[in-house]
Amino acid sequence: MSRLSMTAGIILVLIVGFCVQLLFTFAGTEDTPNKAVVKFSKAYFQLDRSMAERICHERLTFGDVDVVDQYLYRVAGEAKKRGFGINFMKNKLYHIETKTLNKNDNEAQIRITGKRRISINPAYVIVAKLFNLSETYEVDAIVDVVREDGKWKVCGDIFSLPAI
């Protein structure tokens, strides 16, 4: 009888754990201004085209020019001048902290702080830190965020994206 109650207890713990995990999963999918700024910032420093998903419509293009494409083209040109490929210009953003300065239903102002380091590939960050191969740069910016199409998107002057 004790074997049956022990098995039932284990099954009960597993079921409760599964339900709690589902609860945390759904709670973590809520779109917030802070998550939008972090997602954009990580993509921006990794030179990932997906940053365009988090830029507001008015800021995404300038005339017929895609701002993200123009930025990536400029960074690739800068890398080429130095004799490198674009991968040498990628940075890893870490120790990220965000603070909401102002927020209403459709607009927010978020301060993001963190550190960035050159990240040619995932292992490079670790090796560079261990052997002090590259510098760490502070990131401290205030980003305006707006709600468009049900998602929070960054707007205004965003790091060094070409200005409108």
Cα separation, 19 vs 129, in Å, equals: 39
Per DSSP, the residues of 35-98 read HHHHHHHHHHHTT-GGGGGGB-HHHHEETTEEHHHHHHHHHHHHHHHHT--GGGG-EEEEEEEE
Q: Bigger pLDDT: 6 or 105? A: 105
CA distance readout (Å), 118 to 10, 130, 134, 155? 47, 13, 7, 25
pLDDT band at 55 (very low <50, low <70, confident <90, very high): very high
The pTM score is 0.79
- Greatest CA span in the chain, whole angstroms? 76
Cα separation, 88 vs 120, in Å, equals: 5
- Rounded to the nearest integer, the mean pLDDT of the chain is 86
Terminal-to-terminal C-alpha distance of the chain:
74
Give the range among 13-27, 64-78, 80-94, 95-109 with minimum mean pLDDT: 13-27
Give the pLDDT confidence score for residue 161 in this predicted structure.
72
Cα separation, 94 vs 91, in Å, equals: 10
Is a pLDDT exceeding 50 seen at residue 164?
Answer: no
pLDDT band at 163 (very low <50, low <70, confident <90, very high): low
pLDDT band at 31 (very low <50, low <70, confident <90, very high): confident
CA distance readout (Å), 161 to 5, 52, 73, 84, 135? 62, 11, 11, 21, 22
**Mean pLDDT value across residues 8-37:** 83
pLDDT, tens digit (0-9, with 9 covering 90-100), for 115-124: 998 888 778 7
CB 56 within 8 A of CB 42: no
Cα separation, 161 vs 65, in Å, equals: 12
Q: 112: which residues sit within 8 A by CB, 6+ positions away? A: 37, 38, 41, 96, 97, 98, 139, 140, 141, 142, 143
**Both structure tokens of 150:** 């049900």
